[in-house]
Amino acid sequence: METAGPGLIFTLIAFIGGFSILVFVHEWGHYKMARLFKVRIDTFSIGMGKEIWGRTDKNGTRWRISAVPLGGYVKFFGDASAASNPGDLPEGLSEKEKADCFHFKPLWQRALIVFAGPAVNLIAAVIILGGFAYIYGVNITPSIISGVAEQSPAEKAGFMAGDRILSIDGKAVERFSDVGETIRLYPNARVTIEIERAGEIKFLPVTLGEFKQQDRFGNIYVMGRLGVAAVDGVHHTVGLGGALLEGTRRTVRMGKTMFSTLGEIIMGIRSVKELGGPVKIAKVIGEAASIGAASFISILALLSLNLGIVNLLPIPVLDGGHLMFYLLEAIKGSPLSKKAQEAGFIAGAALMLIFMVLVTLNDLQSMAL
């Protein structure tokens, strides 16, 4: 049964709250690693723009909530701005001040401080997904086919009951859930599926079908269809260690899917219309929050993983861009010229602006449909 959406006010509150949590987690990673290396931190801000609330702790860090609830930053001592650009080397500092300054720390320490933000986002996804595994247990179903639907893509391609699916277009699968997660990404696509049948390895080309699924809010999703059924699975209760392993497994699989999907968009295999922006993210968070706390936390895990991966892309203005500059510095033996770094950041900012315009237009077009 279709349910009315959660409403604009509820969606905005859920989006601001959820996004602020993700930003805090990300910036907390930078902050904790910087504190470990004794970097003085001037500001820890959730949001951008004018401060609406703040307090200064005993270390001199100003903790603040800012007026624009999108993004956030940690500003290190000596930074010309909140961006902590590698080219912004402060001048006129005493030796004591240099010891507290991010820009005068060894290269490996600066790299770890930058990497810590995305890393904590990835770790947060592992912990959340592992937490669900610990609370609810894990259903494990082997990737063995128990039956094939009549006139389905699987039947036409020659699949049989008892076949074990090993990989799909070279992507290894371990469980039947892995099969579903991969197949649904490729409606009407031609893929090659590796199977094991009676101890023999076979490769079966198949043109997938499609089916449309509508959620309780009226959103319609077009997904790939193979047309096979699974054997019975087994429910396992896992301890803390097993839960973390399961959380890691799920995070790695989702990360691989995000990377492959992004690569397919860049190569033109998938449409850029599949990309969503802030409007779509707000809608998804609001709908998840309206279902319940578990659904809200689950979507935060997915978005935390997304935030971590996107920030590791080698684009100046992102953490990955900083790390790229540090890698070049390590190879060259000295930092790139300030002019070269500024040119990189201008190009990166332009690229991100184009991307934001593109995904926002996608959002607006999807709302108009």
Is residue 42 helix, strand or coil? strand
Asked if residue 228 and residue 165 are part of one domain, the reply reads: yes
| CA 69 centroid distance within chain | 20
User: Does residue 282 form part of some domain?
Assistant: no
Confidence of residue 240 (pLDDT cuts 50, 70, 90): very high
Q: Which of 265-274, 298-307, 313-322 has the lowest mean pLDDT?
A: 265-274
The mean pLDDT value for 257-281 works out to 82
pLDDT at 2 over 80: no
Give the residue from 236, 257, 279 where a domain finishes: 236
Structure tokens belonging to residue 84: 């902590």
Residue numbers of the domain that contains 61:
8-136+297-368
Helix, strand, coil shares, percent, the chain, to 5: 50, 20, 25
Mean residue pLDDT across the chain? 90
Asked if residue 145 and residue 216 are part of one domain, the reply reads: yes
User: Does residue 244 form part of some domain?
Assistant: no
Q: What is the per-residue pLDDT across 182-198, written as a single tens digit (0 to 9) for each?
A: 999 999 999 999 999 99
Q: What is the per-residue pLDDT across 32-66, written as a single tens digit (0 to 9) for each?
A: 999 999 999 999 999 999 999 999 999 999 999 99
Asked if residue 178 and residue 73 are part of one domain, the reply reads: no
Active site residues: 27
Asked if residue 212 and residue 118 are part of one domain, the reply reads: no
Asked if residue 344 and residue 306 are part of one domain, the reply reads: yes
Tally of CB atoms within 10 A around 231: 15
DSSP β-bridge partners for residue 54: 64
HSE-CB at 255 with a 13 A cutoff on CA atoms is 22
Task: Please spell the DSSP secondary structure of 165-231, one letter per residue.
Answer: EEEETTEE--BHHHHHHHHTT-TT-EEEEEEEETTEEEEEEEE-EEEEEE-TTS-EEEEEE--EEEP
Asked if residue 18 and residue 131 are part of one domain, the reply reads: yes
CA-CA distance, 84 to 65, in Å (whole number)? 19
Asked if residue 182 and residue 114 are part of one domain, the reply reads: no
Give the residue from 215, 236, 257 where a domain finishes: 236
Q: What is the pLDDT of residue 361?
A: 84
Q: What is the pLDDT of residue 194?
A: 97
* CA 340, 341, 342, 343 torsion-angle sign: positive
Amino acid (one-letter) located at 23: V
User: Does residue 292 form part of some domain?
Assistant: no
User: Does residue 276 form part of some domain?
Assistant: no
Q: What is the pLDDT of residue 94?
A: 86
145 touches 228 (CB < 8 A): yes
Q: Which of 115-119, 145-149, 237-241, 280-284 has the lowest mean pLDDT?
A: 280-284
CA-CA distance, 190 to 173, in Å (whole number)? 18
Confidence of residue 264 (pLDDT cuts 50, 70, 90): confident
Q: What is the pLDDT of residue 143?
A: 95
User: Does residue 23 form part of some domain?
Assistant: yes
Q: What is the pLDDT of residue 45?
A: 95
Asked if residue 14 and residue 120 are part of one domain, the reply reads: yes
CA-CA distance, 291 to 293, in Å (whole number)? 7
Q: What is the pLDDT of residue 51?
A: 94
Asked if residue 111 and residue 152 are part of one domain, the reply reads: no
pLDDT at 250 over 60: yes
- Contacts by 303-307 with C-beta closer than 8 Å and gap 24+? 303/18, 303/22, 304/22, 304/25, 304/121, 304/122, 304/124, 304/125, 304/128, 305/121, 305/122, 305/125, 305/251, 305/254, 305/255, 305/258, 306/258, 307/22, 307/26, 307/118, 307/121
The mean pLDDT value for 298-311 works out to 95
* CA 249, 250, 255, 260 torsion-angle sign: positive
Asked if residue 119 and residue 36 are part of one domain, the reply reads: yes
Structure tokens belonging to residue 154: 């699987």
User: Does residue 103 form part of some domain?
Assistant: yes
Asked if residue 147 and residue 116 are part of one domain, the reply reads: no
> CA–CA distance from 192 to each of 210, 225, 283 (Å)?
16, 14, 35
The mean pLDDT value for 296-311 works out to 95
Q: What is the pLDDT of residue 85?
A: 63
Residue written as tokens 């860090």?
61
- Contacts by 171-175 with C-beta closer than 8 Å and gap 24+? 171/256, 171/260, 173/143, 174/143, 175/140, 175/141, 175/142, 175/143
Q: What is the pTM of this model?
A: 0.88
The mean pLDDT value for 166-191 works out to 93
Q: What is the per-residue pLDDT across 334-354, written as a single tens digit (0 to 9) for each?
A: 888 888 888 988 999 898 888
46 touches 24 (CB < 8 A): yes
Q: Which of 92-96, 112-116, 222-226, 273-277 has the lowest mean pLDDT?
A: 273-277
Q: What is the pLDDT of residue 298?
A: 95
Give the residue from 192, 210, 236 where a domain finishes: 236
Structure tokens belonging to residue 246: 């399961």
CA-CA distance, 172 to 170, in Å (whole number)? 6
User: Does residue 261 form part of some domain?
Assistant: no
Q: What is the per-residue pLDDT across 75-128, written as a single tens digit (0 to 9) for each?
A: 998 776 666 665 566 777 888 888 999 989 999 999 999 999 999 999 999 999
Asked if residue 354 and residue 303 are part of one domain, the reply reads: yes
Q: What is the pLDDT of residue 368?
A: 55
The mean pLDDT value for 325-338 works out to 90
Domain count, the chain: 2
User: Does residue 265 form part of some domain?
Assistant: no
pLDDT at 276 over 60: yes
